[in-house]
Amino acid sequence: MSIRINLLPHREMRRERRKKDYVGLLAFVGIGAAAAAVVVALGIDQRIDAQRARNDFIRAENAKLDEQIKEIATLRAEIDALRARQYAVESLQANRTIPVHLMDELVKHTPEGIYLKTMRQDERKITLTGYAQSNERVSELLRNLANRTPWLERPELVEIKASRIGGASASKETRRVFEFSLNALIKTTEPQPQGPAPKTTSAPATLAAAGASANR
């Protein structure tokens, strides 16, 4: 019968075994952490790549929108230019008839005893000069232009002064009249056709020279 005696210290063996187990556990944890870090890094890289792709797409779409905006701005500028030319043509065509209407209105609303000498137009403003038998005739003309004509507005007297006309020859005597000038504005919108004008004591205006007016 033999007896075996373990001469190795069992505590040392147990300690060595525990150390190996601990080292193995640390290695396993380290490998797991490294693997997790790799997975996380790969996920972050994928997200970054996806975000970059989205950013590139957004920049491309923004560039397309910028081009479309430029095209729209160009079209709007062309449309505005066409409208301006159309307005200029329409204004020119409308303004061609204004002198005819003005002459017609002056014939209708110039009272008897007033002789118009000149009519000058500067854009919307017209200037009339002439002779009147009295101040009352000039006042009546101003009232007619202010209230009865659809083509003129805001008439105002610029000047009136006593004068004498005629006397071109020794046999003709001079006549005392009132020389006047007035301004009025052409209305910006074309008036609507009106019915027959009421009868007044006005007589047709005569655009004549001062000498011809005196001979009447």
**Token pair listed for 80:** 């505005």
pLDDT, tens only, 157-181: 888 888 877 655 555 677 788 888 8
Of 64, 136, 152, the C-alpha closest to 101 is: 152
Confidence tier at 191 by pLDDT (50, 70, 90): very low
Q: What is the pLDDT of residue 192?
A: 47
Tell whether the model's pLDDT for residue 27 goes beyond 50. yes
pLDDT, tens only, 73-127: 888 888 998 888 888 777 766 666 677 777 887 888 888 888 888 888 888 888 8
Tell whether the model's pLDDT for residue 53 goes beyond 60. yes
Tell whether the model's pLDDT for residue 135 goes beyond 80. yes
Q: What is the mean predicted confidence (pLDDT) over 27-37?
A: 84
CA 8 to chain centre: 106
Q: What is the pLDDT of residue 154?
A: 87
Tell me the whole-structure pTM to 2 decimals. Answer: 0.42
Q: What is the pLDDT of residue 79?
A: 92
Q: What is the pLDDT of residue 179?
A: 86
Which DSSP string corresponds to 65-116?
HHHHHHHHHHHHHHHHHHHHHHHHHHHHHHHHTHHHHHHHHHHHHPBTTEEE
Q: What is the pLDDT of residue 206?
A: 38
Could you say which DSSP state residue 202 is in?
B
